[in-house]
């Protein structure tokens, strides 16, 4: 049996060899992306980064200065290449009249010169980063008002900074606040909030893994998030869009600039558009295309995306605009300056290939893990970096295609009702003869570089509850080395966060959960009540039977709790409620978030008639979710 130092040496050697093989297989000396990502830089980002008004760090690329050196053995060299490119930051001229702010946050903000002011596309994720981007635009190109804002899709990295560019800042005098029209895809409001709020706590916890939010930036930590460095740590805001685009081919003149839209809803996001600027011969593919293979489901969790529709949507853009486009821009990464048609064909084929090959293998009788092991990357991907898995990954995406078509069950009766991890762990550890024996098997697996098998067995030991610190320590090492070899920035973060939580325990960050209060208060009542109903505790609601009438901002709703189930009917009042409440949604939101008491709400104008105890019981039947639940331990 090997001792610990010896195993470390074995792991280091094997990881170095794996990463060296990547460097030998890919044309990493090709500098064309470096040229494309640097082209047009006209203003540098603020030298000392971006802070909140009271000096808290929101964003600072100096955290990534270690990327200026050679790739260490702890990073996949292909990911290192992308990490260097995603660090190129500032204000870039795309064409005369079109600019981009890049690497001020995880996404890009695009700026178009309108007749009367700046048209902004996707104002980043936080108030501070979008404001800093706009400041650089005004300082460099001359001060102009914001005349319109377009939000391409429902993901928060593209709209959380809205109030940083509308002037709607508590620190600003009221007369400076502008209210430019905000354009968004149809159904934006249906999905913008519900996608991140209904399962928000679970998703937010897994996003901590995906973006490595507890890791720190260094060669053994976060190097890149695939689409950009990662989310900025500022304040997320929201302002409601008031113009909606619903049809492909729809043409609008926005502040004198012609836009032709294409609907891309159901691809990368449930509501999304792309657009073509005929006067500039520029096509913006929003996040449907990027300089990476995207996710069909992200590791943070989301509803499954449709790879076939995704490929068809890219092909439609190619048909509609391919011949008329000189430059293609996206809402992440740098532009495509030439050969746009080829780029679009290749991006299309990333999703079509993954879709078709997964179903081919499934139809041949393979199950998800077999498909992931069997699916090869298409040959051309070794020469075209924009199709590589820096954000998505082929194996993860193949499993997503399978799940979309067939669900989580793979057809084998043993998986109809699998054991939960703690029970399975206890049985496996017993079967191999105890925790020490399991550790010995795992050590042999590490010697043979069978890291996934070692991780599987060691995780069983951890979940068995056995007092086996050696198993934990080994699993930390295995997770780290799986992370060091990952080409996908977010998969690397997932492994390294797992390793950190196993080694150090969970150390909560001073941050709130996934709920953006501005956004939650804009939910349709049906969605707001349904999101609250997922907190109903069946033990605390057992035997209760209550009916509450609400009037919320004038809209009636009736909430019932019976049979340990909560149901809200909107635009309806029941005949004999236990209590009736007249209130505004932001106040109700403040009560359930613990930021206001019922008495404070009444003092501020809410009214309650009927049985107040029943209303109080209703609030008390709901769970409060802890963001920092366990993942790698029982």
Of 157 and 578, CB closest to Zn ion: 157
Q: Minimal CA–CA distance to 261: which of 277, 279, 281?
A: 277
CB of 152 to Zn ion, least distance (A): 9
Of 105 and 477, nearer to Zn ion (C-beta) is 105
- Please answer whether residues 378 and 349 qualify as being in contact, where contact means their C-beta atoms are separated by less than 8 angstroms: yes
CB nearer Zn ion, residue 37 or residue 375: 37
233 touches 493 (CB < 8 A): no
Nearer to Zn ion, 45 or 156 (CB): 156
Alpha helix (H) ranges present in 465-504? 469-485, 489-504
What is the C-alpha separation between 123 and 120, in angstroms, rounded? 7
Please identify, using beta-carbon distances, which residue of 268 and 306 lies nearer to Zn ion. Answer: 268
CA distances from 627 to 276, 507, 568, 591, 631 (A): 41, 11, 26, 19, 11
Helix 435-447 × helix 421-432 angle, to 10°: 90
SS3 assignment for 36-81: HHHCCEEECCCCCCEECCCCCEEECHHHHHHHHCCCCCCCCHHHHH
Between 517 and 556, how does the x/- string for binding to Zn ion read (CB under 5 A)?
Answer: ----------------------------------------
Q: Closer to Zn ion at the Cβ: 152 or 497?
A: 152
Helix (H), strand (E) at residue 132: helix 127-141
491 Cβ contact partners less than 8 Å away, ≥ 6 residues apart: 299, 393, 396, 483
Minimum gap (Å) between residue 163 Cβ and Zn ion: 19
CB 223 within 8 A of CB 212: no
Of 66-74, 154-162, 188-196, 554-562, the window that binds Zn ion (rule: CB under 5 A) is 154-162
Nearer to Zn ion, 241 or 368 (CB): 241
Judged by CB, which is closer to Zn ion: 155, or 236? 155
107 in contact with Zn ion (CB under 5 A): yes
Q: How far is the CB of 36 from Zn ion (least distance, A)?
A: 19
Q: Which is nearer to Zn ion, 388 or 472 (CB)?
A: 388
| Least distance between Zn ion and beta carbon 155 (Å) | 5
Residues 599-618 that bind Zn ion (CB under 5 A): none
Looking at beta carbons only, is 107 or 445 nearer to Zn ion?
A: 107
Q: How far is the CB of 108 from Zn ion (least distance, A)?
A: 9
By beta-carbon proximity to Zn ion, the closer residue of 159 and 463 is 159
Least separation in angstroms between residue 413's CB and Zn ion is 40
Look up tokens 């897994």; give the residue.
206
Show contacts with Zn ion in window 7-26 (CB under 5 A): none
- Here the tokens at position 181 are 């029209």
DSSP code of 221?
S
Give the shortest CB-129-to-Zn ion separation in angstroms: 13
Q: Applying CB under 5 A, does 224 fall inside the site for Zn ion?
A: no
Task: Name the residue whose CB lies closest to Zn ion.
Answer: 157
Q: What is the DSSP letter of 332?
A: S
Cα(56)–Cα(265) distance, integer angstroms: 37
Of the residues 33, 105, 157, 349, which one makes contact with Zn ion according to CB under 5 A = 157
Could you tell me the CA-to-CA distances from 127 to 32, 227, 419, 580, 608 in Å, in that order? 33, 20, 45, 38, 36
Segment 113-152, which members bind Zn ion (CB under 5 A)?
none
Q: DSSP assignment, residue 544?
A: -
Beta strands 273-277 and 257-263, pairing class:
antiparallel
The residue among 114 and 226 lying less far from Zn ion, judged by its C-beta, is 226
Kindly state the smallest distance separating residue 284's Cβ from Zn ion, in Å: 13
Q: How far is the CB of 290 from Zn ion (least distance, A)?
A: 8
Q: Cβ neighbours of residue 165 under 8 Å, at least 6 residues apart? A: 120, 123, 130, 131, 133, 134, 146, 149
Contact 359, 405 (CB under 8 A): yes
Mark residues 556-585: x for contact with Zn ion by CB under 5 A, - for none: ------------------------------
Q: Kindly state the tokens that stand for 488.
A: 């996908």
- Nearest in space to 558 (alpha carbons), one of 580, 541, 538: 580
Nearest approach in angstroms of CB 107 to Zn ion is 5
Our CB check for Zn ion shows the closer of 157 and 518 to be 157
In angstroms, give the least distance from the CB of 272 to Zn ion: 10
# binding residues, Zn ion (CB under 5 A): 4
Report the nearest approach of Zn ion to the CB of residue 287 (Å).
Answer: 5
What is the x/- site pattern for Zn ion, positions 63-102, by CB under 5 A? ----------------------------------------
Q: Name residues contacting Zn ion, limited to 286-325 (CB under 5 A).
A: 287
Q: Cβ of residue 213: shortest distance to Zn ion, in angstroms?
A: 16
Q: Which residues pair with 258 in a beta bridge?
A: 253
CB of 155 or CB of 229, closer to Zn ion: 155
Question: CB–CB of 489/82 below 8 Å?
Answer: yes
In this chain, which stretch among 140-148, 157-165, 174-182, 399-407 interacts with Zn ion, using CB under 5 A? 157-165
Tokens, residue 520: 């939650």
Q: Please state, in angstroms and rounded to a whole number, the distance separating the CA atoms of residues 74 and 266.
A: 37
Report the alpha-carbon distance of residue 231 to residue 20 in Å, rounded. 30
Q: How far apart are CA 612 and CA 615, in angstroms?
A: 5
CB atoms within 10 A of CB 313: 26
The distance of closest approach from Cβ of residue 554 to Zn ion in the complex, given in angstroms and rounded to an integer, is: 35
Binding of Zn ion by 105 (CB under 5 A)? no
C-alpha closest to that of 499 among 634, 632, 301: 632
Binding site for Zn ion (CB under 5 A): 107, 155, 157, 287
């Amino acid at each position: 049996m090997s001792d610990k130092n010896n195993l470390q040496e074995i792991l280091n050697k094997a990881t170095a060899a794996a990463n060296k093989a990547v460097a030998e297989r890919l044309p990493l000396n090709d500098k064309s992306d470096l040229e494309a990502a640097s082209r047009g830089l006209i203003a540098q980002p603020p030298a000392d980064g971006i802070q909140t008004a009271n000096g808290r760090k929101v964003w600072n690329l100096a955290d990534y200065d270690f990327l200026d050196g050679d790739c260490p053995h702890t990073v996949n060299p292909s990911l290192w290449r992308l990490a260097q490119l995603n660090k190129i930051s500032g204000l870039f001229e795309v064409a005369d009249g079109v600019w981009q702010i890049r690497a001020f946050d995880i996404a890009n903000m695009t700026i178009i010169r309108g007749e009367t002011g700046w048209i902004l596309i996707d104002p980043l994720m936080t108030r501070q980063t979008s404001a800093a981007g706009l400041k650089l635009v005004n300082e460099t190109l001359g001060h102009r008002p914001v005349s319109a804002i377009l939000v391409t899709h429902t993901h928060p990295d593209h709209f959380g900074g809205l109030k940083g560019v509308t002037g709607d800042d508590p620190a600003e005098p009221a007369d400076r606040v502008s209210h430019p029209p905000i354009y968004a895809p149809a159904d934006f409001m249906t999905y913008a909030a519900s996608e991140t709020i209904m399962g928000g706590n679970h998703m937010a916890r897994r996003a901590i893994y995906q973006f490595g939010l507890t890791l720190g930036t260094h060669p053994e930590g976060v190097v890149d998030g695939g689409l950009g460095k990662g989310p900025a740590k500022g304040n997320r805001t929201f302002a409601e869009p008031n113009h909606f685009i619903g049809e492909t081919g729809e043409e609008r003149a926005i502040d004198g600039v012609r836009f032709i839209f294409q609907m891309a809803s159901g691809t990368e996001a449930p509501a999304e558009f792309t657009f073509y600027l005929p006067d500039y011969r520029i096509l913006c593919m929003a996040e449907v295309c990027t300089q990476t293979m995207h996710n069909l489901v992200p590791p943070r969790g989301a509803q499954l995306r449709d790879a076939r529709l995704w490929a068809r949507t890219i092909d439609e853009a190619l048909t509609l605009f391919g011949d008329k486009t000189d430059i293609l821009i996206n809402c992440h990464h740098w532009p495509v300056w030439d050969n746009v048609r080829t780029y679009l064909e290749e991006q299309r084929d990333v999703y079509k290939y993954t879709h078709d090959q997964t179903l081919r293998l499934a139809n041949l009788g393979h199950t998800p893990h077999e498909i992931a092991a069997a699916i090869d990357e298409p040959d051309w991907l070794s020469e075209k970096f924009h199709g590589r898995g820096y954000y998505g990954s082929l194996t993860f995406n193949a499993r997503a295609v399978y799940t979309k078509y067939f669900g989580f069950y793979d057809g084998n009766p043993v998986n109809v009702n699998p054991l939960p991890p703690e029970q399975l762990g206890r049985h496996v550890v017993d079967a191999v003869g105890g925790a020490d024996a399991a550790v010995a098997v795992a050590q042999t697996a590490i010697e043979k570089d069978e890291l996934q098998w070692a991780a599987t067995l060691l995780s069983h030991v951890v979940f068995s509850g056995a007092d086996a610190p050696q198993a934990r320590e080994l699993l930390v090492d295995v997770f780290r080395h799986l992370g060091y070899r990952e080409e996908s920035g977010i998969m690397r973060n997932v492994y390294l966060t797992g390793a950190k939580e196993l080694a150090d325990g969970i150390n909560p960050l001073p941050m709130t959960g996934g709920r953006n209060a501005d956004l939650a208060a804009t939910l349709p009542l049906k969605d707001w009540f349904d999101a609250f109903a997922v907190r109903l505790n069946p033990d605390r609601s057992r035997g209760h039977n209550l009916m509450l009438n609400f009037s919320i901002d004038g809209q009636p709703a009736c909430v019932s709790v019976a049979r340990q189930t909560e149901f809200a009917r909107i635009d309806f009042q029941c005949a004999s409620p236990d209590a009736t409440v007249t209130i505004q949604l932001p106040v109700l939101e403040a009560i359930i978030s613990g930021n206001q008491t019922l008495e404070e709400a009444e003092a501020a104008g809410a009214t309650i008639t009927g049985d107040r105890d029943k209303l109080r019981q209703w609030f008390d039947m709901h769970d409060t979710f802890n963001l920092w639940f366990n993942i790698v331990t029982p």
